[in-house]
Structure 1
C-alpha cells in the first residue's frame, strides 16, 4: 500500500487481541517474511547481485575508505579461514574492545561466517581507567581467546591487563604496542589449508553469533546469547511491515555504538539484509563531536536516519539555520527512526517542518521498543501517526503479553524467535527472566493509545521495576513520573532520580545542566542557587498542579553538585542512570531531601 503522506510502500497496523481474566495477548495479523539461515546468506546474495556496491565505509583523511560487497565477502572469508586455522569455534569468543570501524565490522562478520561468537564492548571500558572494573568483569566472565582493538598504542593500558595474559591481541594499528600483537592485516590473508566453505556450512540458525552485555543499570552486566536466528528473524520481522526497504538499497550515516544491539545488530544487519550502504559517522551528538557529524552527513547523506532524541534535537536546531545541512539530510530521506527515549514533540515538529521545507512531504517518522534480549525490535510503529511517544504494535512472529493494572497501565512481556533463550553462564538470572508461559519479563510498562482500538498501538510508560510504595502503601510509578519531570524541567536538567520509598512524599534528586548553575554555591554535594532554585520550583509547581494524589506529586527536590560517577557505576555505558547505585551511594542526600530545615531543599 502506497501511503499518501510519505509516498512509501507501507503495511498498516493490524493486531489480533485475545483477552483473559488477568492478561491480554497481542499478535500481528501480518505474515512473517522468509528468514535466512545466517548473515552469510545476505553477504553472498549481495556480493553476487551487486558486487561493486559500497557496503561499508569510514572516514580516511579528507575522504572515505569504501569497501564493496565483493571486497567485504573476500575479507570475511579470509578472516573466517584464519580463525578456523587457529581452532576457534563456538567456545572461543572474541572480545572487541574498540568502537565502530570497518575492521570491527569485518571481524564481526568474519567470526559469524566461521561460527565464532564476538562480544563487542563499550570502548570506555578500555579507555577510561576508572571503568576497567567492567572490562575485567567481562573478561573473567567469557574468557576470550582473542581480543581486538583498532589502535594498540591507544589501548595499551587495557590490553596490558593481566586478565588478557595468554589471549591473542589483534590490532588494526600495531605501532607503539607494548606487547606482542597480531596485525589485523594478517587475519585478512586467510589460511589456504582451511576449507572455508565447509567451515561456513556448519553455521546454523542456532549458532551463537554475539554475546552482548546489558548496560548493568541495576546489577552487573548480563551476557545475552544472541544467535544467528535471533538476528535474521528480526530483520525479516521488520521487512514484513516496512516493504519499502526491499525496493531500493538503503543508505545510512550512523554513529550509534555497535556494543549496543540498536547500532550493532539492528542497523548493521538492516543494511546487510537489504544490500544497503553503511557510512560510519565518527562524530557524536556531543558538543565536541557534533560538528564532525554535520560534516559527515553533508558528505554522505542517507535514506534512513537513526538516532537518539538528543541527537535529533541537535540536528533539528542546526537545520533551522544551516540550509545546506537541511538539504543534504532531508532531500532523499525515507525514514526517521528514534529510540532510547521519547522524542520531545517540539523536536518532532521541527523535523517535520524541515522535511516539508525541503521536499514537500514527510519521511516515515517512527519508533520501536526492544531490549538487548530481544535482538532488538519487537514492538514497532510502521504507519504514520503524526506524534511522538508511540512505540507501535507487535511485529509479525512475536507475541505480546500485557498484564494490566487498575489504570490500564500494563506490564509488558514478550515471546518470539527473536527473543534470547538464556544469559551467558547465569542459569539463575535466566530462570528469573521468564514467566511460566515462556514470556520474557521485560520490567517495562506500556499503555494503549486507545483501549478501544488496539491498532492505534502502545505508548511506553516507564519501568515497573522502578516503582515503589510510599509510607501510605500507595504505589508510585517512578518511571512515568521521571519522564514527566524531565519534560517539565527540560533545558535545566540532565537527568533526575525519583525518590520516596517508605517515605510519605515523593522527592527528586536533580542532576543539573552545568550551564544552568550560577557560580560555585555547593553545600556538601548539593547546589544552593537562588535563580536555579526558583526556576525549578516554578516548573515543579506547575507539574504538581496537574497531579492527583500523593503518588503523582513531587513535593521536594535537591540539586546535586556532583555529576553521575562512571567510576562508581552511577552511570552505565549507555549513559543511563544506575538508580539503585545512586540512591545507595548518596544516602546522605536522600536524608537531606526529607529534612525541611536543609538550605539546599526546594519545597514544592
Structure 2
C-alpha cells in the first residue's frame, strides 16, 4: 500500500543496471566508463535495413500524413526495395564517398528513402536545416555548406518551394531531384531504376569508417561546421542504446516524432533507433510552435507512442491539451513506456505535471529520462538508464564510451573517447586538430559533476558550457548553465528561454523570451510576477553569482541567420549577447528604463 505523501511506483520497464568504474588521474581528474563491454554491431546501416527487411518485411517502418489526411505507409520490404533502386541510380550517376547527396527538404518518406539509398550505395548524405533555405535572407549558410560538401545531387522535395535558393547556387554538374518534378529530375525516376548486382557489390564493399552523413552544427559563432558521421559512429551508438534499453527488444518501438533529421538527435538517435529495432516512425509534421502544435495533437489522437521524445518547449505546449482532454491523455499514455526530454533541463513544474498525468491515467509513473551528447558523438555519450526523480541528471557513460573529467576553472570539463566519436570536420583540419586533446579525447566543451562521489551509478549532472561562464566585476565566477536553468524554473511558467548577462558587470541579468501564455498577460502584471518569482528565488541563493537582479523581456524572436537559435529551438548564448549588445546596455543602464524588470531584495 502507498503511504500518504509517497509517490506511486514506476511502470515496469526493462533497463540495464548501471555498473560504472572510476579511474583516478594525477591531475585530480578521473575517467568513468561502463563495466559492460560494447557488444559487436553491424558494419553499416545498410546492413541494418537489409536485416529488418528480411525479418520484418510487412511491418510498417515509416508513416507520414498526406494532404488528404490519410497516412502514407512504407514497410521494411518496400523501404529496402526503394533504397536499392535509389542506390543503383546513385551509382549509375557516379556518386560515392567523394560525391555526396545534399538534402534541403524537411523530414518525409521521400527524404528517408533517399537517405537509406545513400546508406546502401555508400554515398554520404548531407541533410540541411530547412530554415537555411526558407527563412534566411541571404542563403549564406547554404552557400557555405554547398561549397564544403560539393554535392553531385541535391534533393528538394518541393521544387517550387526551394526554387529561390537553388537559383542562387552554381549548379553546373549538379543534378537537382524533386518529388513533384518542379525544376529537376523526378524522384520517381530513381525509384524506378532496376537494382543490379552492382548494388550488392557496393553493399559488401562498405566498411564502418566510410562516411554516412555530414551533419552541420551552427557552432557558437561563424558558419556551420560539417561534422563527419561514419557508419561506425551511428551503428556503435545504436548498439549501446540496445544494451542500456533492453525493453526495445521486447516490442518494436512506436514513435511520433518531429525532431529534424538535420540534427543528430532526430536523424541519428531516433531514426536509427527505430530502424535498428524494427519499429515504426510516424513523421510528425507538427512542432512546438503556434499553429503547428495543433498538428501534433491531431496526430496523437491516432498514434499512441511507446517512447516519446521532445524538448522542454514541446512539453510546455503539449501539457495544456493533455490536462484538459482525458481521451487525448489516455491515447498519449496508453502504450507509453518512456518519456524523454532533450535540449535543456525540464523545468520542475513540467516534470511534476507530466508525472501527475501519468499517475492519474495509469496509476503509476512513466519513467522520464534524458541523455547527453553532441553531433560529434552520434549522439549519445551518457544516458540515465535508471529511474530519476528530477531533471538535470544526464546519466552514466554508455557501453564503449570513456568519459574523462579534467579540472578547469573550478569545474570539471568532460571529454569523450569511443567508437561513436567523429574523426573530424569536413574540410577543416585546423578545427579537427583543436577538437581533440593529446590523448585523443574529444573536447566537447561541457562541464559535469557527480551526483554522488560515493555511488557512481547515480550518474552525473550537466554543469554548463565551459566557454559560456564568466566573471562579474567583483571577480566572482558565474556558471551560466546552472543560473539559466534555475532562473527559468523559478519563473515558470512565464519564461520560454533566456540568456544570462553579466560579463564585466556588477551583477547577473537576463535577456528573456516570455512564453505564449505570458504574452497574453498585461505587460505590467507580467513584469510584476517575474520580479516576485525571482525575488523569492534570490532569497534561496547563496551569493551574487546565483542571483538575478534585472530582466529585459525580448519581443522579437531569436534569429536563425544570426546563429541565435537552431530550428530545434536551442538558444546560442554567445550569439545572442553579441547581436543584442544594445539590449544588454539597456539592462545595465542607471537608472533603468521602465520596461526593465528590477528585482529588489525586499
- TM superposition score normalised by structure 2: 0.93
Residue 559 of structure 1 corresponds to which residue in structure 2? 553
Distance apart, 1:494 and its partner CA: 2.9
In structure 2, the CA distance between the partners of 1:561 and 1:311, relative to structure 1 (3 Å rule), is closer
| Of 313, 323, 332, the match for 1:329 | 332
Distance 1:254 1:290 in 2: 12
Residue 53 of structure 1 corresponds to which residue in structure 2? 59
1:434 aligns with 2:426: no
1:354 aligns with 2:357: yes
Distance apart, 1:455 and its partner CA: 0.8
Residue 597 of structure 2 corresponds to which residue in structure 1? 602
Per-residue CA shift, 1:425-469, capped at 9, x if unaligned?
111111111111111111112222222211111111221110012
Task: Tell me if structure 2 keeps the 8 A contact 1:81–1:194.
Answer: no
Matches within 5 A, 1:212-227: 212-227=215-230
Query: What's the secondary structure of 2:212's corresponding residue?
Result: strand
In structure 2, the CA distance between the partners of 1:566 and 1:9, relative to structure 1 (3 Å rule), is closer
| Of 297, 300, 304, the match for 2:300 | 297
Query: What's the secondary structure of 1:479's corresponding residue?
Result: helix
- TM superposition score normalised by structure 1: 0.93
Query: What's the secondary structure of 1:353's corresponding residue?
Result: helix
Distance 1:162 1:237 in 2: 40
In structure 2, the CA distance between the partners of 1:33 and 1:512, relative to structure 1 (3 Å rule), is same
Distance 1:430 1:305 in 2: 34
Residue 107 of structure 1 corresponds to which residue in structure 2? 114
Task: Tell me if structure 1 keeps the 8 A contact 2:221–2:574.
Answer: yes
Matches within 5 A, 1:458-537: 458-513=460-515, 516=518, 529-537=523-531
Task: Tell me if structure 1 keeps the 8 A contact 2:32–2:403.
Answer: yes
Residue 129 of structure 2 corresponds to which residue in structure 1? 122
Task: Tell me if structure 2 keeps the 8 A contact 1:215–1:574.
Answer: no
Query: What's the secondary structure of 1:311's corresponding residue?
Result: helix
Residue 152 of structure 1 corresponds to which residue in structure 2? 159
* Structure 1: runs of 5 or more not aligned: 521-528
Matches within 5 A, 1:315-326: 315-326=318-329
In structure 2, the CA distance between the partners of 1:253 and 1:77, relative to structure 1 (3 Å rule), is same
Task: Tell me if structure 1 keeps the 8 A contact 2:131–2:560.
Answer: no
In structure 2, the CA distance between the partners of 1:562 and 1:66, relative to structure 1 (3 Å rule), is closer
Distance 1:518 1:62 in 2: 32
Distance apart, 1:477 and its partner CA: 0.8
Distance apart, 1:518 and its partner CA: 7.9
1:575 aligns with 2:600: no
Distance apart, 1:417 and its partner CA: 0.3
Residue 380 of structure 1 corresponds to which residue in structure 2? 383
Per-residue CA shift, 1:105-154, capped at 9, x if unaligned?
01001011111101101111111242622212211221211111111112
Q: How many residues align?
A: 588
Distance 1:97 1:406 in 2: 41
In structure 2, the CA distance between the partners of 1:297 and 1:126, relative to structure 1 (3 Å rule), is same
Distance 1:56 1:602 in 2: 48
Residue 526 of structure 1 corresponds to which residue in structure 2? none
Query: What's the secondary structure of 2:71's corresponding residue?
Result: strand
Distance apart, 1:405 and its partner CA: 6.0
Distance 1:337 1:87 in 2: 41
Residue 245 of structure 1 corresponds to which residue in structure 2? 248
In structure 2, the CA distance between the partners of 1:42 and 1:286, relative to structure 1 (3 Å rule), is same
In structure 2, the CA distance between the partners of 1:150 and 1:500, relative to structure 1 (3 Å rule), is same
* Structure 2: runs of 5 or more not aligned: 1-8
Distance apart, 1:553 and its partner CA: 2.5
Give the superposed CA RMSD: 2.1
Task: Tell me if structure 2 keeps the 8 A contact 1:26–1:401.
Answer: yes
| Of 159, 162, 171, the match for 2:178 | 171
Task: Tell me if structure 2 keeps the 8 A contact 1:85–1:194.
Answer: no
Distance apart, 1:281 and its partner CA: 1.2
Distance 2:283 2:407 in 1: 42
